Structure 1
Amino acid sequence: MSISSYIKEIGRGANGARSLTQEQAREVMGQVLDGSVSDLEVGAFAIGMRMKGETAEELAGFLAAAHERCLAIPSNQPVVVLPTYNGARRLPNLTPLLALRLAQEGVRVLVHGPLQDPKRVTSAEVFQSLGLPAVRTAQEAERAWARHEPAFMRIDALCPPLSRLLDVRWVIGLRNSGHTIAKMLNPVRGARAVRVTNYTHPEFGQLLAQYAQNEQADMLLMRGTEGEPVADARRVPRMDVSLRGVAREELSCPAQDGALAQLPVLPRDNDAATTAHYIQSVLSGEKPAPAPLERQVELLLAAVAAMQDEALEHSA
């Protein structure tokens, strides 16, 4: 099969490009993920979408195609989903600390992302340094939760076709829509899941909010720390929670204003081993957790509690 007709629509440049319908987006992404189109078409599609940018309808269609090809992770309790696809460049990667703090509070946490990035420190590497190996199956994820540990799953185990699309980046030198899809992926089935989805540019944050509203999604939207779904340890970012697509101001918080009175004590190096040692010292109580990260934990705990309350009201 060919996706040339779709490429023709999206590849007309910034002013002439036309957006796909949700069903068209689902169809084209399905073909891309199934490997039924040529490498040349995949590259053209990736660059065309990069230039045009996605709409909320296209994101919904792309995600539907990815979810159809993704391993389902069953749960009978709410789950916090942390997509970790950027890693650390300058600051320590504290996504594993966020996951472990939530697990300490009794929350089921699913983290997914790549194993390595040649230029960054991935969450997978930090988890490995902490002695927490990646899970490969839904059963292993369940066992991790039973131990009150977060479950980290590599994207090539969770959704192999999407992992292959992410790898196109290393050929063409640009991220593509697969990266956006991965950061919005929700493989949890049988229970609601709060996706912590981060953005860099405010316009993309607005697009994600529109997606959450359209799809009645449970999400915490925030400006990421170097693209990671964890609050910047130095300053509280704006964090907006939506449940079933409805913005919940009482579960959200504004960005911290003004000058910082005090900076947290963070490790000087951001390699996996040093970061893991710092995380262990925080979890043991030897060092305080960064206040912005603790604020994020509070919001996510409140969101999970709100979902549980809604479930009780529905069953009453």
Structure 2
Amino acid sequence: MITNLLKEVGRGKRGARDLSYDEALLAADAILELKATPAQIGAFFIAERIKMESAEELEAFVAVCRKHAYRAPIHQGLDCAGPYDGRKKSFFATFPTSFLLAAAGLPVTLHGAASLPPKWGVSLQDLLHQAGISAHLLTRGQIIKAATDTGVLYVPAEEWCPPLKALRSIRTELGMRTVLNTAEKLIDYSHSPYLIFGVYHNTVFERMAKLADRLQYRKALIVQGTEGSEDLFIERPTRTYIVEEGESRLHIIDPDTYGLEMPVPEMEWTPSEQLRVSEAVLQGRGHLAFVNQLLLNAAVRLRLAEKVDSIEEGLYTCKDMLDSGAPWELYRKWQNVMRSEGVLSCPN
């Protein structure tokens, strides 16, 4: 079956056609269950990369990833879907932002894995490891306890969706993005009603908006953020798409509107530097550009999740929360639970 589907997507830029949703389900099933050979899987990934995946094809891969993943309504909040290939030139603002949001009453789900192609940047998992947390070694129960206690869930994707781990070697050998670079970000481990999703090129806005709508999120924000992430720029405006009730619209978020625009200092973003800056901003310290980036990202996400009526209100809320010290205390609590060596039971 995979051979026949390969013939359809691999006819070259002009001859290839998009698969129907049902055809794409067959392809995704063959790939994620390793029914196809490594050569067939690699050929399919490259053919789709050349052709460009349709919303229906992406939806099918998301559906099969979800079928093989552990998913539970651990908490209802915001899913932060950033690139698993990490950061090389920008601050990982979504990490400290999550604790500010949780302190403000919005549960957050983060997820990732060891770094992947094509960027091979500092991943969220690298950052956690620097904080003394080997998330891929933790029991599911321990991770869920940290989320229950603090409102921040971090999912080691390759442990909670095993086919991703099985396909890592093929993705590494190919060294380029594949359909999985998008699908893995949309597994939605905690059934979140709200989604913030990063993209690199604005040419995919409409396709991703269609996909977010088909996946039935209550509300989604697609962000052309730093290094293709969900993080808004602080030194210039950011292009975003708001998706709600079957409609999408372009929304430019300009930090200058809120008096937050500021040039970002050049940094060498190692895992230790990412952690140092993250911990500094959670205490309201460090370079003002990164504090402002934290505040803007948090305010926009509170607005997305309908916790505040405007970004301005979100900024006031976030400034007060940061001044109170609650996000830092929540982070320390989360870190302690995630570092704990006690073995907790793993739910089925």
TM-score (norm 1): 0.84
Identity %: 24
Task: Write the distance in 2 (CA, Å) between the matches of 1:110 and 1:45.
Answer: 30
1:236-247 residue pairs with structure 2 within 5 A? Answer: 236-247=237-248
Distance in 2 between residues matched to 1:14 and 1:63, nearest whole Å: 24
- 2:223 aligned with 1:222: yes
Do 2:79 and 2:109's aligned partners in 1 also have CA atoms closer than 8 Å? yes
* Deviation (angstroms), 1:276: 1.1
| Equivalent residue in structure 2 for 1:161, among 157, 160, 163 | 163
Is 1:139 paired with 2:138?
no
Deviation by residue 1:207-235 (Cα, 9 ceiling, x = unmatched): 10122233433321010311322122423
Give, in whole Å, the separation in 2 of the partners of 1:61 and 1:208. 14
1:108 Cα shift?
1.6
Letter in 2 for 1:47: I
CA distance in 2, matches of 1:146, 1:266: 36
SS in 2 for 1:168: helix
The CA distance in 2 between the partners of 1:132 and 1:267, in whole Å, is 27
The one-letter amino acid of 1:60's match is E
Letter of the aligned partner of 1:232 in structure 2?
Answer: F
Aligned partners of 2:205 and 2:222 also within 8 Å: yes
SS of residue paired to 1:175:
coil
2:127 and 2:269 map into 1 onto residues whose CA distance is: 10
Q: Bigger shift: 193-202 or 16-25?
A: 193-202
SS at match of 1:151: strand
For residues 182 and 78 of structure 2, what CA distance do their matches in structure 1 show? 20
- Deviation of 1:237 after TM superposition, in Å, equals 0.9
Equivalent residue, structure 2, for 1:311? none
AA matched with 2:88: R
Partner of 2:189: 187
Match status 1:173 vs 2:175: yes
How far apart in 2 are the matches of 1:245 and 1:138? 35
Matched residue SS, 1:226: helix
1:256 equivalenced with 2:254 (yes/no) = yes
Q: Name the stretch that deviates more: 50-59 or 106-115.
A: 106-115
**SS of the counterpart of 1:87?**
coil
Once the 2 structures are TM-superposed, how far is the Cα of residue 24 of structure 1 from its aligned partner?
A: 1.1
What CA deviation, in whole Å up to 9, does each residue of 1:58-117 have, x standing for no partner? 111111111111111323532333344121112233331222322232322111111245
| Contact kept? 1:83, 1:182, Cα under 8 Å | no
Distance 2:255 2:211 in 1: 28
Tell me, what secondary structure is at the counterpart of 2:186? coil
What is the match of residue 291 of structure 1? 292
Number of the residue aligned with 1:303: 304
Residues 143 and 236 (structure 1), Cα distance of their counterparts in 2 relative to 1, 3 Å cut: farther
Corresponding residue for residue 329 of structure 2:
none
Q: Deviations along 1:248-299, whole A, 9 cap, x unmatched?
A: x6xx8414399x9963555733111122111111111223444344223122
Question: What aligned pairs does 1:45-56 form with structure 2 within 5 A after superposition?
Answer: 45-56=44-55
d(CA) in 2 for partners of 1:265 and 1:14? 40
CA contact 1:231–1:293 (8 Å) conserved in 2: no
CA contact (8 A) 2:61 2:183 kept: yes
- Segments of 5+ residues of structure 1 without an aligned counterpart are 308-316
Q: Secondary structure at the match of 1:183?
A: helix
1:1-316 correspondence to structure 2 within 5 Å: 2-117=1-116, 119-134=120-135, 136=138, 138-148=140-150, 150-189=152-191, 192-217=192-217, 218-247=219-248, 253-256=251-254, 263-264=262-263, 266=265, 268-287=267-286, 288=288, 289-305=290-306
| Cα distance in 2 for residues equivalent to 1:261 and 1:29 | 44
Would you say the 8 A contact 2:10–2:47 is kept in 1? yes
Q: Which has the higher helix share?
A: 2
- Contact 2:79 2:108 survives alignment (8 Å): yes
- Give, in whole Å, the separation in 2 of the partners of 1:304 and 1:115: 29
Letter in 2 for 1:187: Y
SS at match of 1:147: helix
TM-aligned CA distance change 1:257 to 1:270, over 3 Å? closer
- Counterpart CA distance in 1 for 2:280 and 2:122 is 19
User: SS at 1:188's partner residue?
Assistant: coil
In the aligned structure 2, how far is the partner of 1:20 from the partner of 1:40?
A: 20
TM-score, normalised by the number of residues in structure 2:
0.77
Change (3 A) 1:262 1:34: closer
Aligned length: 301
Which amino acid is 2:112 matched to? G
Q: 1:256 to 1:18 in 2, by over 3 A?
A: same
Structure 2: distance between partners of 1:216 and 1:140: 29
